Amino acid sequence: MKNMKLSSLKMRLFLIVFASTAVIGGCTVLLIIFIAVQNELQESKQQVYQLMDAVEYSAAIAGYSGNKEIANDVIKGLLRSDNVCQARLYNKTGLDIASSKYTGENKCPETIARDLHSPFDEQEIVGHLETRMDNTFIRERARREAGQLAISLLALIILPGLVIWQTIARLITIPIHYLSRQLHQITPGTSARIKSISGRKEDEIVQLAHDVNHLLGVVEDTLIEEREQRLLIKEMKQKYQHLAHHDMLTGLPNRSLFADRLQQMLAQAKRSISHGALVYLDLDKFKPVNDTLGHDVGDLVLKEIAQRLQTAVRESDTVARIGGDEFVVLLPTIESKQDAGTVAEKIRHALDQPFEIGEHTIHIGCSIGIAVYPEHGDDEISLMKNADTAMYQAKQNGRNNVQMYFEGMNPYSVAGKWPTDTAET
């Protein structure tokens, strides 16, 4: 503007625009102030009416009962409004409660009065409620708000289009592009969030960033919860699968899992042309333990037996409980029958040792039968039956011994289960 002459078109246009803006802006400011004051007065009066509507019932009760405490609460409630500077509640029976925000000169010339009717008879007037509006405060507030609005309007009128465009770009376009660029770099479900715009106050763009971050948080929480649910379902599935395939007391594989492991052992042995053994054992003196010491002690004995069995075999072997006092051990990939006999003797020796359960010293022992694949059977039924037969032979031979199945051994059992024997096992 230093090089602009007063007579130049550019300067004249500037002066015309400035003068026009000043005149239009000035008139607009005056009009805005006038309208704002009138609207503020009308709106404030309406608010006072609404406030009186809200307290009318309580005021009527105070007027009807002469209760000064209720009357004081009503007056205090009215004076909490910025639009009310004085309030009074009175009746003919001597109740007269009044309060004012100001002392001295009367700053509250406009009075709004209302008759209070009995809560029980709408025809009966039990008191009067008066409020005075704080017009001075209302006008000052209206002028202040109108002045702020007018200044904003003048700024919008004076600012050239380029500045407006740059302002819009700085306030909206650039921040949105900034948010979009960050959002494209964020992977949903991670803890990454949109960074706040430096130096920017709370507005719609900042709120948008907050909302997006909130949404990202919800997505992260949802994905975390989903992962936790999947993990929980997996754990529950594993738990129930374990319960379905394991003995609840000892934790050993049950009959169902044993049958599956037996099929796997036979399939592997057939593929690799190797040997496998099934060791069938039945406890010799367990029934008297339950009968004399109780099932709680018997359960502790069974748990200790399970631990000794697992200690006596390899990790690759399977120890299973298939009945009350019946256990089986699968020995995959053995070199010979002698290997199975060695393991069985180790098991017999382990269970022949006394069990210290509380104050009781218990002797159990076991009878063990062995069947080896493929010599003593090439399928589950025959192998199980022959091991069971060998175990029964061990019982017949005086118990607490190991018997290897051989061809011609008396097949006393049927499908792996013995007839009920009343004799002590």
Catalytic residues: 325
Which run of H or of E encompasses 89? strand 84-90
CB 347 within 8 A of CB 279: yes
d(CA 316, CA 255): 18
- Helical packing angle, 255-272 and 380-396, nearest 10°: 110
d(CA 48, CA 85): 11
Q: Give residue for tokens 């022959």.
A: 386
Say how many C-beta atoms besides its own lie within 10 A of residue 106's C-beta: 10
Q: Omega of the bond prior to 374 within 30 degrees of 0, cis? A: yes
Tokens coding 110: 């406009």
CB 368 within 8 A of CB 347: yes
DSSP letters for 304-363: HHHHHHHHHS-TTSEEEE-SSSEEEEEEEEESSHHHHHHHHHHHHHHHHS-EEETTEEE-
d(CA 317, CA 310): 9
d(CA 113, CA 128): 7
d(CA 215, CA 233): 26
Q: Give residue for tokens 């026009």.
A: 20
Kindly provide the b/e burial profile for residues 57-80, where b requires at least 16 CB atoms within 10 angstroms of the residue's own CB.
Answer: ebbbbbbbeeeeebbebbbebbbe
Say how many C-beta atoms besides its own lie within 10 A of residue 29's C-beta: 17
Say how many C-beta atoms besides its own lie within 10 A of residue 327's C-beta: 26
Q: Which of 43, 269, 248 is nearest to 135 (CA)?
A: 43
